[in-house]
Structure 1
Amino acid sequence: MTDWTSLYASRMAGVVGSDIRERAKLLDARQIIHLGGGLPDPEIFPYARLAQASAAIWADPARARTALQYAPSEGHGPLREWIAGHMTARGVPCTVDNILITNGSQQGLDFIAKLLLSPGDTAMVEIPSFIGALRAFDAYQPQYVGLPEDAEDWADPALGGAKFCYVGPDFRNPTGTTMTLAEREALLDLAERTGIAIVEDGCYEDLRYDGAPLPSLIARAVARHGSIESAPVLHTGTFSKTVAPSLRVGWIAGPAEAIRKLVLIKQASDLATSAFNQMLLLDVVREGLGDMIAEACRVYRGRRDAMLATLARVMPEGVTWTEPGGGLYIWLDLPERIDATLLSQRALAEHHVSAISGAAFYPKGAANVTPRHNCLRLSFSMIGAEPARIGVERLAALVREMMAESAVAA
């Protein structure tokens, strides 16, 4: 029999499964209260708009033929034009040459890593970091270094040598926190001083519930350098959080030279993103994106507020959490003596509550990073106020129980 293990490429030794994707398999278990996964709520998907747009495509023989054919590797031209206009309106003047359509922003992160990383190269990532980005980067065998938490440390002359720095500046996954304008400028200073690229994950930037929007890193870079062609930023965007994730339509925006190389990677990977999905999406977002964003913000804002209120009411002293101004996540810091991995396991087994241990969001082997064992990520996107209340109450009771157990053990 074939020994498949002996045939695997060396990079597979560092490829591990996603705890979040494993938990997603439990979504059909109705007795489980899901406080962990950050999937968009299908209750707010634009079913009527999508059905109308689909019918219009099939009613037009010429458009139907286009929809069922391979799309260009760069993406459906009219959608790229729309995204270029969308980016331009947000302070990033660009053309279709600066846009590549991807199968969701996750594919964009994978392509960027493939473009920039050789085995042993250094990737800088924010700490903690989006687990999907870490898993995409892992396949290219980088060394990791953590972006220091305090922006004052970004001026350290020793902080260099990385190929890129990955950040999600708005309502980060997993913490829900947002980079200030001063931090964005400081990160661009770091890029200019060291020559590294910035990989900006913009997937949550439209889900803002409080305050005024801040300019993206790519917008600030263009303002500094005068053109996207001189900006040291590759920006990934997606419609998964504002329209529907199953369409798998995202994009990379950046200098045309880098986009041309990324197109070659796209050609070798899957040739093209579905033409039908791109055409369908374009018809929907042309007139309705603003309404869809507003509806998502209305729903998620209410759920965030409900979860924050319950946390404030039931969590014991010594537990703190972030209060995100948008996005889908709340980050809990538990007392040092609480192991969040054990807590999440017990929460699922004993209380039918699913939560994600914070340990999953740390890169492997980063010399300047010590993974924290006492953090937990919660999400309010898929759960109404009442089940969230029950789930958080159960979680709080377990925290109290484990605090008591650790006190006795001490």
Structure 2
Amino acid sequence: MRFEENFATRVSRLKASEIRELLKLLDQPGILSFAGGIPDPALFPTQAFGQAFTDALEGNAQALQYSVSEGYLPLREWIVSEMARNGVTCSVDNIMITSGSQQALDYLGKLFLSPGDTALVGWPTYLGSLAAFNAYEPAFDQLSINGNRAAEDHQSKAAAAGGQVKFAYLSADFANPTGETVDRQGREGVLQLADALDCAVIEDAAYQSLRYDGAPVPPILALEQAQKGSIEACRTIYCGSFSKTLSPGLRVGWVVAATPVIKQLVLMKQAADLHSATINQMAIHRVAEGGFDAHVAGVRDVYRRRRDAMLQALDRFMPKGVRWTKPEGGMFVWVTLPAELDGADLLARSLETEKVAFVPGRAFFADGSGGNSIRLSFSCADETMIAEGMARLGRLITAAKVGQA
């Protein structure tokens, strides 16, 4: 059978993740990798999880049983309290547990996007969001966060030409890939634009807990609720995750939204995988309830030192003409190269000569632009590795500049 001739048209839009392919490089000897945006496994609370799984299984067969699609109730109740700390008042009926926030993005793409509809995203934006939304055959347009009338007019005209704008997607805190944070004015601008276009806002809060400097900015959902009073009146859909704080492998995330959205997502969950693994949810709940703040504080201390080491090393080793972001949190630094250099070409040369891995920037742009940029992750590299890696990378970029002269 010629399977390819029977695949759905949307399959042609599916692409392999460049990051997943790069992760395979970790097994090669001598590679200093700043590619994978993954937590350091040495920081996982393994002992706490061991006890949590033991406790969940003792005399409780329900831990291994089918469960409700909405998610484990005590965990949803804990999330209600956590959201309240972030300025969002909601109930368990406004929360659904997902298999990581990546599943939430897939479901939201399925919920909102018909072929030809417009999704507003950053330029650049999280590669996984493009992959999730792309399967539903949208048009992508650049999200403006300034909230002015010109931006509204531009998006309205783009929608008229290419399809209705269904949502604006952004990670407002320490975004993947840039590490940048949208300030309060920018967040309010996104809400203003969404109100003008009558579209949803998808707030990806995967890195919100990993702030190292500066004052926290309220989530977009909190700002909107302060304006409109009730979560039921809000267009913002908040996607949270335990992947960057407790464990990515357990695949536990959540969505907070008005009940009409949650009800539809629950139906999708029932049709897809019935529910997220009950025992994983129970373990996450026990570990979070037993010391979430203390654990995350320790994680932040480690990552802060690594962020500082990377910024210092970049300042020391990068040649003139190279710029980079200075994130207040998260896991990433975004490097902009001289216009004549290409990140993908640089990576190929780096793997052959300097043995340093990173992610070329083009993968994060919906239109394939951004060739002269790269993403560096400091989460899994100690200070010594960072200093050596940035020295090698600076040497590589300097040589590439000379070669282009």
Q: Same fold (TM over 0.5)?
A: yes
Which letter does structure 1 place at the counterpart of 2:128? G
Matched-pair identity in %: 43
Hey, what's the Cα distance between the residues in 2 that align with 1:316 and 1:359?
22
Residue 10, structure 1, aligned to residue 6, structure 2: no
Residue 265, structure 1, aligned to residue 261, structure 2: no
Counterpart position of 1:207: 210
Deviation at 1:152, TM superposition (A): 4.7
Where 2:35 maps in the other structure, the secondary structure is coil
Work out which of the residue numbers 307, 331, 341 in structure 2 matches 1:328.
331
Q: 1:170-220 CA deviation, whole Å, 9 max, x = no partner?
A: 001000000011101111111111101100000000000001111000111
What runs of 5+ residues in structure 2 fail to find an aligned partner?
160-164
Residue 81, structure 1, aligned to residue 80, structure 2: no
Counterpart position of 1:227: 230
Where 1:316 maps in the other structure, the secondary structure is coil
Hey, what's the Cα distance between the residues in 1 that align with 2:400 and 2:263?
54
Residue 401, structure 1, aligned to residue 399, structure 2: yes
Counterpart position of 1:70: 66
Residue 125, structure 1, aligned to residue 121, structure 2: yes
Hey, what's the Cα distance between the residues in 2 that align with 1:239 and 1:259?
19
What runs of 5+ residues in structure 1 fail to find an aligned partner?
365-369
Deviation at 1:149, TM superposition (A): 6.6
**Cα RMSD for the two superposed structures:** 1.3
**Aligned 8 A contact 1:154 1:187 in 2:** no
Deviation at 1:157, TM superposition (A): 2.2
Hey, what's the Cα distance between the residues in 2 that align with 1:247 and 1:390?
33
Deviation at 1:47, TM superposition (A): 0.9
**Aligned 8 A contact 2:23 2:35 in 1:** no
Counterpart position of 1:382: 380
Counterpart position of 1:288: 291
Counterpart position of 1:317: 320
Which letter does structure 2 place at the counterpart of 1:70? Y
Deviation at 1:49, TM superposition (A): 0.8
Hey, what's the Cα distance between the residues in 2 that align with 1:309 and 1:87?
35
Counterpart position of 2:26: 27
Where 2:249 maps in the other structure, the secondary structure is helix
Hey, what's the Cα distance between the residues in 2 that align with 1:358 and 1:152?
28
**Aligned 8 A contact 1:168 1:200 in 2:** yes
Residue 351, structure 1, aligned to residue 354, structure 2: yes
Hey, what's the Cα distance between the residues in 1 that align with 2:352 and 2:169?
35
Deviation at 1:97, TM superposition (A): 0.6
Work out which of the residue numbers 233, 237, 240 in structure 1 matches 2:240.
237
Work out which of the residue numbers 328, 340, 344 in structure 2 matches 1:341.
344
Hey, what's the Cα distance between the residues in 2 that align with 1:30 and 1:402?
24
Hey, what's the Cα distance between the residues in 1 that align with 2:326 and 2:134?
30
Which letter does structure 1 place at the counterpart of 2:78? W
Q: TM-score, normalised by structure 2?
A: 0.96
Deviation at 1:29, TM superposition (A): 2.7
Change (3 A) 1:248 1:377: same
- Out of 298-307 and 146-155, give the one that drifted further: 146-155
Hey, what's the Cα distance between the residues in 1 that align with 2:29 and 2:247?
22
Change (3 A) 1:79 1:115: same
- Out of 87-96 and 204-213, give the one that drifted further: 87-96
Where 1:190 maps in the other structure, the secondary structure is helix
Counterpart position of 2:134: 138
Q: TM-score, normalised by structure 1?
A: 0.95
Hey, what's the Cα distance between the residues in 2 that align with 1:155 and 1:107?
30
Counterpart position of 1:147: 143
Where 1:205 maps in the other structure, the secondary structure is coil
Counterpart position of 1:367: none
Deviation at 1:150, TM superposition (A): 5.4
Hey, what's the Cα distance between the residues in 1 that align with 2:44 and 2:29?
21
Change (3 A) 1:389 1:116: same
Hey, what's the Cα distance between the residues in 1 that align with 2:261 and 2:187?
22
Deviation at 1:371, TM superposition (A): 1.3
Hey, what's the Cα distance between the residues in 1 that align with 2:190 and 2:402?
42
- Out of 189-198 and 22-31, give the one that drifted further: 22-31
Q: 1:294-319 CA deviation, whole Å, 9 max, x = no partner?
A: 01100100000001111000100110
**Aligned 8 A contact 1:127 1:148 in 2:** no
Q: 1:101-144 CA deviation, whole Å, 9 max, x = no partner?
A: 00000000000000000111111101100000000001000011
